């Protein structure tokens, strides 16, 4: 609709000073020049700009009769009223527009706040471990990860913050509440390395899965069949033949998973089992979420299934297998004995280097001759290796029979790495920091015994209930509080919780900590309103850490109350 237009006709000399109104467009209500009243300047009391004291009663109409003057007045009033209404709705419309623009801006700012949190975590993970600990660590560090002020403003509606949250694990190893920090992905079962467990223990992979509440042998084998490359069904499993009968039919993946959600395609896996009752993915069952005391017959009274199996599963866990200074570890199974000796001597000294190379060249000695300590000699480094180590701990508590160059008789060497808890702590750090039997700089899938929930630990092949309880009782979850020896998984051996044999059985499955981290990054304003929530997985095996996975959870709401996230904790303006 076209807008009315107005023009004055004061230049018309024949007519008294007045206003002519033209309405163009559909409305032709007023199409003629309307003569209006003329004021008597003497009756305005000579006030300059007498319109200020404009009073209808003091107006004298110089033209026209009384009824037409009244008519004109009414018309003018109608026009004025219409104009006022138009102005009012226009201003209301503009206010609503402004609010919408405000909201859109704050929404995109909230998203930027959440993304700032990801960058903040990447920066933190790029620090050396000692500096990370100095700054409070990545595990439970509200000072660094809670309510960080990103955008300061005197108006709380615009004072933007970000928080980084992860599920907390209590001293019983149960997921309980939240903490401000990151979550080590190595505290979960890595579905894509699960099949390796079968190489170390019979049905090891199934055993690991069976630790999940509500898991059955049928579902466990179906998951493994879904991942394994063959089309041969396991004892209780399902392969292509089964999925071909479904409507619509589909094929099993027969390869690594790309998302946890893919498991919903596996026979027997349901959304309730996979995700529990935590619809908004904040790690807990909120009052408005359906009660989850029982999920398909699974006992959830202790809340272990609040977030379903997804809380215990990952596709990303990985750890760096390098020396503390970033150089590759010494590969103990390399073929060149001269090179091996040289590397070992430089890092560990000649006694350790001699014994390790002698072991490689001769294998363990199982005869009755007693071993000697403190004896040394020159090895023939041209002699090729005879045995390979399956793990570093093969060197502990063994003897080697070796003939040094220039000697006529062999010598039996006692290992400089005695099988004795406490004492072993002295050499374990050197061995763990510098040597490996795995030439890869990255090891995926091992489980962090310092932080993993009870359920995940319980499934590890070789884990007994006694060992599990000892670990849960003694461990220190936060790396900041942890003595140096506890950064290696071998602390359960050096502190006497497990025997050497038990340690060697557990070793392929466990680690002291991984280098891939997950967190929920919540961007919000002190005054409430728009918020953004992002879940991201950061790979800190490279510096700066790279984002492996990013998912926007904003549509599920902020997830945590403002009091939990923290407001007005730090600001330069208040």
Comparing CB distances to Ca ion, the nearer of 254 and 270 is 254
Q: Please identify, using beta-carbon distances, which residue of 408 and 563 lies nearer to Ca ion.
A: 563
| Residue nearer to Ca ion on the CB measure, 255 or 441 | 255
Q: Which is nearer to Ca ion, 185 or 221 (CB)?
A: 221
In the complex, the smallest distance separating the C-beta of residue 147 from Ca ion, rounded to whole angstroms, is: 21
Task: Indicate the SS3 state at residue 485.
Answer: helix
Q: Give the separation between CA 127 and CA 61, rounded to whole angstroms.
A: 88
For residue 184, the cross-strand partners are: 517
Among the candidate windows 40-48, 192-200, 274-282, 534-542, which touches Ca ion by CB under 5 A?
Answer: 274-282
Instruction: Considering the complex, state which of residue 225 and residue 539 has its C-beta at the smaller distance from Ca ion.
Output: 225
Could you tell me if 528 and 558 are in contact, meaning their C-beta atoms sit under 8 angstroms apart? no
Residues 508 and 198: their CA atoms lie apart, in Å, by: 11
Chain mean position to CA 358: 46
Output the smallest distance, CB 353 to Ca ion, in A.
45
- Cα 499 from Cα 464, distance rounded (Å): 12
Q: Which is nearer to Ca ion, 21 or 277 (CB)?
A: 277
CA angle 235, 239, 240 (to 5 degrees): 155
Check binding of 343 to Ca ion (CB under 5 A).
no
Q: Taking CB under 5 A as the criterion, which residues in 233-262 touch Ca ion?
A: 254
> What are the distances in angstroms from CA 21 to CA 10, 16, 65, 79, 365?
12, 15, 20, 10, 116
- By CB under 5 A, tell whether 221 contacts Ca ion: no
Stretch of 184-192, 270-278, 398-406, 495-503 lying at the interface with Ca ion (CB under 5 A): 270-278
Minimal CA–CA distance to 254: which of 324, 182, 195? 195
Using the rule CB under 5 A, is 230 a contact of Ca ion?
A: yes
Q: Closest distance between Ca ion and the C-beta of residue 547, in Å?
A: 24
Residue number, 158 or 236, with CB nearest to Ca ion? 236
Pick between residue 183 and residue 278 the one whose CB is nearest to Ca ion. 278
Return the range that interacts with Ca ion (CB under 5 A); candidates 17-25, 156-164, 281-289, 429-437.
Answer: 281-289
Please say whether the beta carbons of 401 and 410 come within 8 A: yes
Q: Which of 140, 225, 414, 539 binds Ca ion (CB under 5 A)?
A: 225
Other Cβ atoms less than 10 A from the Cβ of 305: the count is 30
- Number of alpha carbons in the 13 Å side-chain half-sphere of residue 100: 6
Q: Is 232 near Ca ion (CB under 5 A)?
A: yes
- Answer whether 170's CB lies under 8 Å from 298's CB: no
In this structure, how many other beta carbons lie within 10 angstroms of the beta carbon of residue 391? 15
Residue nearer to Ca ion on the CB measure, 255 or 496: 255
**How many of the chain's residues bind Ca ion (CB under 5 A)?**
9
282, 314, 361, 450: residue in contact with Ca ion (rule CB under 5 A): 282
Q: How far is the CB of 286 from Ca ion (least distance, A)?
A: 4
280 is an interface residue for Ca ion by CB under 5 A: yes
Residue 523 CB, nearest approach to Ca ion (Å)? 19
Choose, by CB under 5 A, the member of 119, 128, 171, 286 that binds Ca ion: 286
Q: How far is the CB of 516 from Ca ion (least distance, A)?
A: 24
The phi-psi region of residue 283 (left if phi > 0; otherwise alpha if psi is between -120 and 50; otherwise beta) is left
Measured from the CB atom, the residue of 282 and 451 that comes closer to Ca ion is 282
Nearer to Ca ion (CB atom), residue 202 or residue 232 = 232
Instruction: Please report which residue ranges of 166-320 form alpha helices under DSSP H.
Output: 197-200, 204-210, 217-227, 240-244, 271-275
Residues 6+ apart with CB under 8 A from 15: 9, 33, 35
Scanning 118-126, 199-207, 280-288, 408-416 for contacts with Ca ion by CB under 5 A, the matching segment is 280-288
Considering only the stretches 94-102, 131-139, 272-280, 379-387, report the one whose residues sit in contact with Ca ion under the rule CB under 5 A. Answer: 272-280
CB of 111 to Ca ion, least distance (A): 21
> To the nearest whole angstrom, how small is the minimum distance from the Cβ of residue 232 to Ca ion?
5
Rounded to a whole number of angstroms, the minimum distance from the CB of residue 104 to Ca ion is 27
Pick between residue 233 and residue 527 the one whose CB is nearest to Ca ion. 233
Report how far apart, in Å, the C-alpha atoms of 368 and of each of 330, 375, 413, 570 are.
Answer: 32, 18, 12, 71
The CB-of-227 to Ca ion minimum distance in angstroms stands at 7
Interface mask toward Ca ion for 175-214; x: CB under 5 A: ----------------------------------------
Please give the Cα distance from 449 to 460 (Å, whole number): 10
Minimum CB separation from Ca ion for residue 361, in Å? Answer: 41
Q: CA-based angle 420:426:428, to the nearest 5?
A: 80
- How many CB atoms sit inside 10 A of residue 370's CB? 8
Contacts 24+ apart (CB under 8 A), 3-10: 4/79, 4/83, 9/33
Rg of the chain over all Cα atoms, to the nearest angstrom: 39
* DSSP H or E segment with residue 108: helix 66-125
554-573 residues in contact with Ca ion (CB under 5 A) are: none
In the complex with Ca ion, which residue's Cβ is closer, 137 or 167? 167
Binding segment (CB under 5 A) for Ca ion, from list 38-46, 228-236, 385-393, 531-539: 228-236
CB of 236 to Ca ion, least distance (A): 11
Among 228, 394, 489, 526, the residue binding Ca ion under the rule CB under 5 A is 228
Is residue 364 within 8 Å of 400, Cβ to Cβ?
yes
Q: Are the beta carbons of 121 and 165 closer than 8 angstroms?
A: no
Binding site for Ca ion (CB under 5 A): 225, 228, 230, 232, 254, 278, 280, 282, 286
């Amino acid at each position: 609709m076209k807008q009315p237009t107005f023009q004055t006709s004061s230049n018309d000399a024949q007519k008294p000073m007045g206003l002519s109104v033209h309405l163009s467009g559909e409305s032709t209500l007023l199409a003629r020049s309307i003569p209006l009243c003329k004021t008597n300047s003497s009756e305005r009391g000579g006030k300059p700009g007498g319109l200020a004291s404009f009073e209808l009663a003091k107006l004298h109409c110089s033209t026209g009769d009384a009824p037409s003057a009244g008519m004109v007045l009414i018309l003018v009033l109608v026009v004025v009223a219409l104009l006022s209404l138009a102005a009012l709705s226009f201003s209301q419309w503009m206010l609503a527009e402004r609010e919408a623009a405000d909201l859109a801006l704050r929404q995109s700012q909230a998203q930027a706040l959440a993304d700032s949190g990801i960058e903040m975590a990447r920066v933190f993970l790029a620090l050396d471990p000692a500096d990370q600990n100095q700054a409070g660590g990545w595990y439970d560090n509200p000072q660094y990860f809670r309510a960080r002020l990103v955008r300061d403003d005197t108006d709380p509606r615009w004072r933007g913050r970000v928080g980084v949250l992860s599920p907390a694990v209590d001293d019983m190893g149960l997921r309980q509440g939240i903490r401000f920090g990151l979550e080590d992905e190595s505290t979960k079962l890595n579905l894509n390395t699960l099949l390796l467990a079968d190489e170390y223990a019979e049905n090891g992979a199934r055993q690991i899965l069976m630790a999940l509440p509500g898991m059955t042998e049928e579902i466990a084998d179906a998951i493994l069949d879904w991942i394994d490359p063959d089309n041969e069904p396991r004892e209780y499993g399902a392969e292509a033949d089964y999925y071909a009968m479904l409507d619509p039919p589909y094929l099993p993946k027969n390869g690594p998973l790309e998302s946890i959600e893919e498991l919903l395609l596996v026979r027997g896996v349901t959304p309730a089992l996979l995700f529990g009752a935590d619809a908004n993915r904040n790690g807990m069952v909120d009052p408005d979420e359906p009660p989850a005391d029982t999920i398909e017959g699974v006992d959830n009274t202790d809340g272990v299934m609040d977030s379903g199996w997804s809380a215990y599963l990952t596709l990303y866990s990985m750890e760096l297998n390098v020396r503390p200074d970033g150089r590759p570890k010494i590969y103990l199974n390399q073929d060149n004995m001269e090179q091996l000796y040289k590397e070992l001597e430089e890092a560990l000294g000649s006694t350790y280097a001699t014994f390790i190379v002698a072991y490689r060249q001769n294998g363990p000695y199982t005869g009755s001759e007693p071993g000697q300590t403190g004896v040394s000699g020159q090895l023939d480094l041209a002699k090729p290796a005879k045995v390979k180590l399956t793990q570093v701990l093969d060197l502990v508590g063994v003897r080697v029979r070796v003939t040094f160059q220039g000697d006529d008789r062999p010598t039996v060497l006692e290992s400089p790495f005695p099988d004795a808890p406490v004492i072993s702590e002295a050499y374990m750090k050197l061995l763990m920091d510098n040597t490996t039997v795995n030439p890869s700089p990255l090891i995926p899938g091992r489980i962090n015994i310092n932080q993993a929930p009870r359920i995940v630990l319980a499934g590890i092949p070789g884990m007994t209930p006694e060992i599990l309880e000892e670990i849960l009782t003694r461990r220190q979850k936060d790396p900041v509080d942890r003595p140096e020896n506890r950064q290696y998984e071998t602390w359960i051996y050096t502190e006497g919780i497990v025997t050497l044999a038990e340690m060697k059985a557990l070793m392929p499955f466990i680690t002291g900590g991984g280098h891939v981290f997950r967190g929920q990054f919540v961007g919000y304003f002190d005054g409430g309103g728009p918020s953004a929530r992002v879940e991201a997985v950061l790979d800190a095996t490279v510096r700066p850490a790279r984002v492996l996975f990013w998912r926007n959870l904003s549509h599920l709401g902020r997830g945590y109350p403002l009091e939990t996230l923290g407001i007005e904790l730090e600001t330069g303006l208040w």
